[in-house]
């Protein structure tokens, strides 16, 4: 009997073990009936994570400006072309370019060849050609910058035998001949090499006047060697040699502090029949958020009355004021957005009303990080390529331009 009992026990155990280990059926065992979940009496509290503000819509500056018949530009470097992010912004938003450096006298005059030839020799550099080809391939218009300037100009062009080591400045007559040859070659070469059609404007003379109404005479060898009519001669030669499609500009900074001076001077840039030798005035527009736009537009309105084209040629708007940059805080960037909005609105309104002849507005760069005034965060895009309130100001999207801050 004991044996039978033991056998039964072993059999029972084996059956249980088989049932437990060999079960493949995934059907869940019916749950033990639990207490019914109480129906919540309150509406559940919403997820506290804030919904992200929707990205402002995509808009392209060149489309906004085109509605007012204005090209929008940036200065150009080869780095901008080789950086895919800047290149994308450049091609998306801008339709005009000005070389930041590579068309300045320092970059396009060859001392060795001038000595060899006994005449000043213009030689275009590789980077300039790369940028002109890029402009051509991408349908970008070009502003030429600049022919006659006291700065970024080689000293040797003013010396005997094209050699400043002689210490002997040439005479006014020789220098005028060199000036004519230089200007003639620039336009001839642009034409011969098939680039002239890209250009719609050219800064013939840059920064010749001071805020006190005097001519820039310090460190200005054009003034020293030729005399105070060097600007007139530069425009006279440019008129003689520039192709028809290229408008001739005088370009300067602090224009709002030189208004009367510029007005008086421009009236002297005429030929013997009284016709203007100049087509337009370039306002560099290196501005500050603390500047008065009322004062700025007083200058715009006064100089517009001369009947010439006005272009904003190097626009950037620094946070703060001269020698006192402000932090790139949200508040200051909002202030910048409002300033740019008001500035561009003032330009558009005048253009639409027919009181301002403006055909292009150029920003001096695309992103803050690549600006010559980067410590003042003066441009429309951040160093990380994002649109700042200033961008929306330029695009006239008031709701994103810092007015809600
Ligand atoms: C002046 C010149 C420009 C450029 C800036 C500084 O405004 O006209 O070409 O050199 O200074 O970047």
Contact 115, 157 (CB under 8 A): no
Report yes or no: 190 and 199 within 8 Å, Cβ to Cβ.
yes
Whole-number CA gyration radius for the chain: 34
pLDDT of residue 51: 62
- The whole-angstrom separation of Cα 317 and Cα 303 is 21
| Ligand 1 centroid, distance to 260 Cα (angstroms) | 23
Q: Using alpha carbons, select from 198, 194, 186, 202 the residue that is nearest to residue 95.
A: 198
394's tokens? 């330029």
Q: State the distance from the centre of ligand 1 to the C-alpha of 253, rounded, in angstroms.
A: 9
Distance 280 CA to ligand 1 centre (A): 18
Beta strand residue intervals within 10-51, DSSP E: none
Nearest C-alpha to atom 12 of ligand 1 is from which residue? Answer: 372
Of 251, 314, 379, the residue with max ligand 1 atoms within 8 A of its CB, to mutate for a pocket test, comes to 314
User: Which residue has its alpha carbon closest to ligand 1 atom 6?
Assistant: 372
How many helices and strands, by DSSP H and E, does the chain display? 14, 11
Atom of ligand 1 nearest to the CA of 251: 8
Q: Where are the beta strands (DSSP E) in 212-344?
A: 247-252, 280-283, 286-288, 309-318, 320-321, 324-325
**Cβ(146)–Cβ(103) under 8 Å?**
yes
Longest CA pairwise span in the chain (Å):
143
> Token digits for 261?
């001076």
pLDDT (0 to 100) of residue 49: 64
Q: What is the pLDDT along the chain (405 residues), one digit of tens a residue?
A: 444 444 434 333 333 333 333 333 333 333 333 444 444 445 444 555 666 667 899 999 999 999 999 999 999 999 999 999 999 999 999 999 999 999 999 999 999 999 999 999 999 999 999 999 999 999 999 999 999 999 999 999 999 999 999 999 999 999 999 999 999 999 999 999 999 999 999 999 999 999 999 999 999 999 999 999 999 999 999 999 999 999 999 999 999 999 999 999 999 999 999 999 999 999 999 999 999 999 999 999 999 999 999 999 999 999 999 999 999 999 999 999 999 999 999 999 999 999 999 999 999 999 999 999 999 999 999 999 999 999 999 999 999 999 987
Buried b (16+ CB within 10 A) or exposed e, 122-152: bebeebbeebbebbeeeebbbbbbbbbbbee
With the most atoms of ligand 1 within 8 angstroms of its CB, the residue from 76, 105, 364 to mutate is 364
Distance (Å, whole) CA 252 – CA 274: 24
Q: What is the pLDDT of residue 8?
A: 38
**Strands 280-283 and 286-288: what pairing?**
unpaired
Q: How far apart are CA 389 and CA 405, in angstroms?
A: 10
Query: What are phi and psi for residue 291, nearest 5 degrees?
Result: -70, 160
Looking at ligand 1, which atom is closest to the CA of residue 149?
8
- pTM score, two decimals? 0.87
Ligand 1 atom closest to residue 101's alpha carbon, by position in its atom list: 9
Atom of ligand 1 nearest to the CA of 284: 7
**Which residue CA neighbors atom 8 of ligand 1 most closely?**
206
Q: What is the pLDDT of residue 1?
A: 42
CA of 96 to the centre of ligand 1 (A): 17
Phi and psi at residue 317, to the nearest 5°: -125, 105
Distance CA 186, CA 204 (A): 11
| Ligand 1 shell residues, CB under 6 Å | 145, 206, 253, 284, 314, 372
Looking at 154-221, which runs of residues are DSSP E strands? 199-206
Number of alpha carbons in the 13 Å side-chain half-sphere of residue 340 = 32
- Tokens in use for 354? 């027919």
Q: State in Å: Cα 145 to ligand 1 middle.
A: 9
- Round to whole Å and give the CA distance between 119 and 54: 62
d(CA 360, CA 68): 10
Instruction: Please tell me the predicted confidence (pLDDT) of residue 55.
Output: 87
> In whole angstroms, what is the distance from residue 177 CA to residue 184 CA?
11
Residues with active-site annotation = 207, 314
Cα dihedral 283, 70, 378, 387, rounded to 10, equals 180
User: pLDDT value at position 405?
Assistant: 78
């Amino acid at each position: 009997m004991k044996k039978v009992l033991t056998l039964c026990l072993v059999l029972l155990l084996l059956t249980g073990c088989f049932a437990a280990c060999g079960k493949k059926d995934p059907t869940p065992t019916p749950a033990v009936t639990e207490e019914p979940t109480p129906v919540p009496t309150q509406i559940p509290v919403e997820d506290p994570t804030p919904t992200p503000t929707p990205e402002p819509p995509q808009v392209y500056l060149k489309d906004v400006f085109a509605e007012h018949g204005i090209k929008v530009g940036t200065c150009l470097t080869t780095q901008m072309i080789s950086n895919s992010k800047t290149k994308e912004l450049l091609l998306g938003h801008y339709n005009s370019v000005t070389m930041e450096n590579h068309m300045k006298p320092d970059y396009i005059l060859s001392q060795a060849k001038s000595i060899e030839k006994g005449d000043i020799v213009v030689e275009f550099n590789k980077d300039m050609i790369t940028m002109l080809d890029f402009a051509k391939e991408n349908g970008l218009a070009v502003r030429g910058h600049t022919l006659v300037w006291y700065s970024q100009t080689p000293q040797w062009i003013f010396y005997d035998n094209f050699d400043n080591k002689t210490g002997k400045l040439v005479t006014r007559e020789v220098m005028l001949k060199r000036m004519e040859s230089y200007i003639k070659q620039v336009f001839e070469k642009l034409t011969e090499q098939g680039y002239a059609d890209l250009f719609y404007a050219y800064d013939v003379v840059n920064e010749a006047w001071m805020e006190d109404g005097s001519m820039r005479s310090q460190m200005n060898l054009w003034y020293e060697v030729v005399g105070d009519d060097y600007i007139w001669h530069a425009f006279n030669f440019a008129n003689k040699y520039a192709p028809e499609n290229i408008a001739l500009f005088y370009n300067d900074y602090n224009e709002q502090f030189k208004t009367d001076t510029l007005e008086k001077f421009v009236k002297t840039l005429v030929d013997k029949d009284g016709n203007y030798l100049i087509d337009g005035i370039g306002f560099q527009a290196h501005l500050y958020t603390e500047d008065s736009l009322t004062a700025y537009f007083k200058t715009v309105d006064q100089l517009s009355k001369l009947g010439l084209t006005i272009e904003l040629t190097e626009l950037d708007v620094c946070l703060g004021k001269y020698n006192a940059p402000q932090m790139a805080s949200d508040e200051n960037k909002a202030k910048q957005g409002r300033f740019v909005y008001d500035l561009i609105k003032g330009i558009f309104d005048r253009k639409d009303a027919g009181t301002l002849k403006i055909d292009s507005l150029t920003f001096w760069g695309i992103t803050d990080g690549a600006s010559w005034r980067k410590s003042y965060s003066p441009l429309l895009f951040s160093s990380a390529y994002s649109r700042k309130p200033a961008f929306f100001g330029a695009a006239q999207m008031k709701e994103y331009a810092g007015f809600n801050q």
